[in-house]
Structure 1
């Protein structure tokens, strides 16, 4: 059996959907915090069990009988994220899984300027420790984050943010398809993968130009001083720690940590990756 965690989330749910296209439902299980939200998967024949990374005892039942477990990284800020990821990996192995997969990030590095990517790097080390088969899927920067990056630009006509840099914005759907492929065909991706990224690199100035083209009106890109941006974010109600956390994304992009493009994703998909413009099209359509 293959167990997928976080199946009620954006990425996890898409992975289950893609896995169902490749594997019988009876071979799949999901581990979720709220089983009531996974009723559709249960109706399709997928095994649904409650599991919470912060309650390792619950994971032993959720992972029971699993040959493979895909651990979707914990959506937790701060030091608790690493402990949660490691607890899920340990529980998978204690349950007898012979292979563990983990959704890491292209920016994973112990020196990363964006804190979550230092967590990914540390989780990868823990994943590799026992010398057992594993796959760390180094996913590209999720294109859906563009909605946060452009802020209220569709209303104001301005993307006002700290200095940034090129990012290989990558669609959740493409990454989910590759994850499902890795589960169904164990020889496809082993160990730490190459960056699973779309080929196009865009900074926010280029994003502003695409938005201008989509909307038919000028969207300008204005660079805001880091401290001014942080103060404005706090004034809008963002907690200081969260503002610092968010600033890290711009610092990392500015340092070129996301200026990475690799053909692996498109080779595995057997088609072109979804362009960032498609995500921007959806953002604009939703705002209308």
Structure 2
């Protein structure tokens, strides 16, 4: 049985939906914190069990009978994130899974400027030490992140953010489809994958031009000093630690950590990945 964690989240649900087109529902199980939110999957024949990375006993039940377990990374950062990932990896091994997969990041590195990428690197070390084959899906930076940074500018017309660098913004939908393909073809990748990215990397200057073309409005890209960016976030109630970690995205981009593009994702999809322009236009159309 293929077990997918976090299956009610933005990525996990899409992965399961794509997996259902490739393997019978009876071969799929999901581990979710609130099974009620996965009722639609249960109605399609997917095994739904409650599981939390902070509850090893619950994970043992959720992972029962697993052949593969996909650990979808948590949305927190730092030591707690790594502890939770390690708990999920350990539970998968204990359950007898013959392969553990993990949604990592193209910038995973112990020396990254971005905390989440250091967390991914630490989790990959746990995977290397877990004793069973593993696949680390080195996902491109989620395009939804670019849309979140862009959101204030949709009203003001000004993209006021710290200095950045090219980022391979990649659609959740494409990464989910590719992940399902990897799960359905067990062993296709051993260890970390190549970067799973869209075909182009964009700066926020590029995004300003894309937004202008999509809306017919003028957008300007202005550079906010790092300390001003952090002060603005903390002024809106973001804890100082969280603001500093968000700044790490821009520091890492300036260092070129997210600039790589690679054809592997296109190969898994059998088509070109969605462009950032497509993602942006879909977001604008949805309001």
Classify the TM-score, shorter chain.
Answer: over 0.9
1:10 maps to 2:10:
yes
Query: Are the counterparts in 2 of residues 170 and 274 from structure 1 also a CA contact under 8 Å?
Result: yes
**RMSD (CA atoms):** 0.9
| Structure 1 stretch displaced more, 153-162 or 276-285 | 276-285
Q: Does 1:162 align with 2:183?
A: no
Match of 1:269 in 2: 269
Counterpart secondary structure, 2:119: helix
- In the TM superposition, what is the alpha-carbon distance from 1:147 to its structure 2 partner? 1.7
Query: What residue in structure 1 maps to residue 178 of structure 2?
Result: 178
Partner of 2:82: 82
Tell me the SS of whatever aligns to 2:207: helix
Q: Between 274-283 and 105-114, report the one with greater CA deviation.
A: 274-283
For residues 116-147 of structure 1, give each alpha carbon's deviation from its aligned partner in whole angstroms, at most 9, with x where no partner exists.
Answer: 10010010011011342110000000011112
1:71, 1:31 → 2: CA distance?
10
Q: CA deviation at 1:285?
A: 2.2
TM-superposition CA deviations, 1:166-193 (whole Å, max 9, x none): 0011111111111111111113222111
Q: Is the 8 A contact 2:140 2:168 kept in 1?
A: yes
After superposition, the Cα gap between the structure-2 partners of 1:90 and 1:136, relative to the gap in structure 1 and judged at 3 Å, is same
Tell me the matched-pair count. Answer: 287
Q: Which residue of 2 aligns with 1:245?
A: 245
Tell me, which stretches of 5 or more residues in structure 2 are unaligned? none
TM-score w.r.t. the length of structure 2 is: 0.98
| Maintained 8 Å contact 1:174/1:269 | yes
Q: Specify the alignment match of 1:96 in structure 2.
A: 96
Q: Which runs of 5+ in 1 are unaligned?
A: none
- Other-structure match for 2:40: 40
In structure 1, C-alpha distance between the alignment counterparts of 2:39 and 2:130, rounded to whole Å: 35
